[in-house]
């Protein structure tokens, strides 16, 4: 790692050093100008996991409690990668300090908790960067899809269809992800990424949501302290936006036998663009070119130095987070973005439970 001339390295602390925390550490270690200075996690094995990633002889402060990391003054910025239900309280503690912060998705498990932290962030010191970790925006094929839409390739966007067909939820430390009370539910925990992409592509607020979903296949034979997991593993979710655009999510979490984990398709009045994430291909079809005519574009971002589990998107997200810290510029992805992605997920769960359309406004009363 080389240091940028004339600039101090930004010192990061990572709160929650399980799978995603260590993915953040590996990304930061690959970035010039970033240093991992401290870690916090109540689980000693997770601290050891992270310490090995940083290098067992590297200078690193270890804490069982995130409040001690904040007080240590060892860091300029923190990444929060602890379980979803802990984000609210940890973020409030971080926001009471001057530290820059990137919080992993979902922002919180409910709209009410998201609103709390959005409010707390509004009072922060000037130049402090508060960044919402929604790195699917940074996947190279997703970025290309958004560039094509911005360039007018498909005309006015009318429909957005996102399919995620993937493997079941992995095992997590203490099995926190097996229960909706900890995750906010699958549509919040997993699908906030896709609802965020819909929100970006459509560009106005979501108005109402209807969904059908269930836990049909996964985790039914598991038991934790006498409790069977309650997380849904498949759903269709339809979102209507204020401008009449409609979007749909097709989620299946027992479909690892598929070529692409994510397929995003946006159709406008002049054409269609799709991003196939595992293949890293963007396919474009313009109506003016005739029926069945498409062009296919392999996509890669040469800046990516670490692929990780998310096709290099976390690395690209960190480059922008670091650039914002250095320049004091506002975040490209905000806590409000996080709130609106959680809102669609929460509305989806309410729709499944109550069998009706749910107005997003209901979640704000
Ligand atoms: N952006 C993505 O694509 C993506 C992918 C995976 C996970 N995540 C998010 O990252 C977060 C962590 O998920 P994970 O997969 O790493 O889970 P994990 O179980 O592997 O790790 C979570 C870690 O947090 C620790 N922890 C628990 N309570 C804590 C607290 N109060 N303070 C500090 N640490 C605490 C646990 O001991 C564990 O080591 C979640 O919010 C999850 O939604 C995001």
Q: Is the pLDDT of residue 154 over 80?
A: yes
- Average pLDDT, integer, range 97-111: 98
Pocket test for ligand 1, best of 23, 40, 41 (most atoms within 8 A of CB): 41
Report how far apart, in Å, the C-alpha atoms of 241 and of each of 204, 338, 355 are: 7, 17, 20
The model's confidence at residue 2, banded by pLDDT at 50, 70 and 90, is: very low
pLDDT tens digits for 312-342?
999 999 999 999 999 999 999 999 999 999 9
pLDDT tens digits for 35-94?
999 999 999 999 999 999 999 999 999 999 999 999 999 999 999 999 999 999 999 999
Q: What is the CATH number of domain 137-309+341-364?
A: 3.30.360.10
Strand-pair partners of 272: 267, 285
Q: Quote the CA–CA distance of 38 and 35 in Å, as a whole number.
A: 9
**Position in ligand 1 atom list of the atom nearest CA 173:** 19
**Position in ligand 1 atom list of the atom nearest CA 183:** 43
Mean residue pLDDT of the chain comes to 96
pLDDT tens digits for 337-347?
999 999 999 99
Q: Supply the pLDDT for residue 5.
A: 56
Q: Output the residue whose Cα is nearest ligand 1's atom 38.
A: 18
Q: Is the pLDDT of residue 260 over 50?
A: yes
Residues with CB under 6 A from ligand 1: 15-21, 40-43, 46, 66, 81-84, 86, 104-105, 133, 135, 172-173, 189, 310
**Position in ligand 1 atom list of the atom nearest CA 172:** 19
Q: Is the pLDDT of residue 6 over 90?
A: no
Q: Is the pLDDT of residue 107 over 50?
A: yes
Q: Supply the pLDDT for residue 1.
A: 40
Q: Supply the pLDDT for residue 48.
A: 98
Does the 10-134+313-333 domain belong in CATH 3.40.50.720?
A: yes
Q: Is the pLDDT of residue 237 over 60?
A: yes
Residue ranges, comma separated, of all CATH 3.30.360.10 domains in the chain are 137-309+341-364
Q: Is the pLDDT of residue 4 over 60?
A: no
pLDDT tens digits for 278-302?
999 999 999 999 999 999 999 999 9
The model's confidence at residue 123, banded by pLDDT at 50, 70 and 90, is: confident
């Amino acid at each position: 790692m080389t240091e940028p001339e004339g600039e101090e390295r930004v010192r990061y602390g990572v709160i929650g050093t399980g799978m995603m925390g260590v993915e953040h550490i590996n990304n930061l270690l690959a970035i010039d100008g970033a240093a991992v200075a401290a870690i916090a996690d109540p689980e000693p094995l997770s601290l050891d996991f992270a310490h090995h990633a940083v290098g067992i002889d590297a200078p690193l402060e270890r804490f069982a409690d995130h409040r001690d990391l904040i007080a240590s003054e060892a860091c300029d910025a923190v990444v929060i990668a602890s379980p979803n239900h802990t984000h609210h309280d940890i973020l409030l503690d971080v926001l009471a300090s001057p530290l820059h912060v990137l919080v992993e998705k979902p922002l919180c498990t409910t709209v009410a908790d998201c609103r709390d932290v959005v409010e707390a962030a509004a009072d922060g010191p000037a130049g402090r960067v508060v960044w919402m970790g929604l790195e699917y925006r940074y996947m190279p094929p997703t970025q290309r899809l958004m560039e094509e839409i911005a360039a007018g390739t498909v005309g006015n966007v009318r429909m957005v269809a996102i399919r995620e067909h993937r493997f079941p939820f992995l095992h997590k430390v203490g099995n926190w992800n097996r229960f909706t009370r900890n995750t906010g539910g699958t549509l919040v925990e997993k699908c906030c990424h896709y609802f965020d992409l819909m929100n970006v592509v459509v560009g106005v607020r979501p108005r109402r949501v209807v969904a059908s979903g269930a836990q049909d296949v996964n985790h039914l034979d598991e038991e934790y302290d006498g409790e069977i997991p309650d997380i849904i593993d498949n759903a269709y979710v339809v979102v209507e936006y204020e401008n009449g655009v409609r979007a749909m999510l097709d989620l299946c979490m027992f479909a690892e036998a598929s070529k692409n984990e994510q397929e995003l398709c946006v159709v406008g009045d002049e054409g269609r663009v799709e991003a196939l994430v595992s293949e890293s291909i963007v396919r474009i079809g313009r109506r003016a070119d005739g029926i069945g005519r498409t062009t296919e574009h392999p996509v890669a971002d040469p800046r990516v130095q670490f692929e990780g589990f998310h096709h290099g998107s976390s690395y690209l997200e960190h480059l922008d987070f670091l650039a914002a810290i250095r320049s004091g510029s506002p975040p490209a992805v905000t806590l409000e973005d996080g709130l609106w992605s959680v809102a669609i997920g929460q509305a989806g769960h309410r729709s499944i439970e109550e069998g009706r359309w749910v107005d997003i406004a209901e979640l704000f009363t």
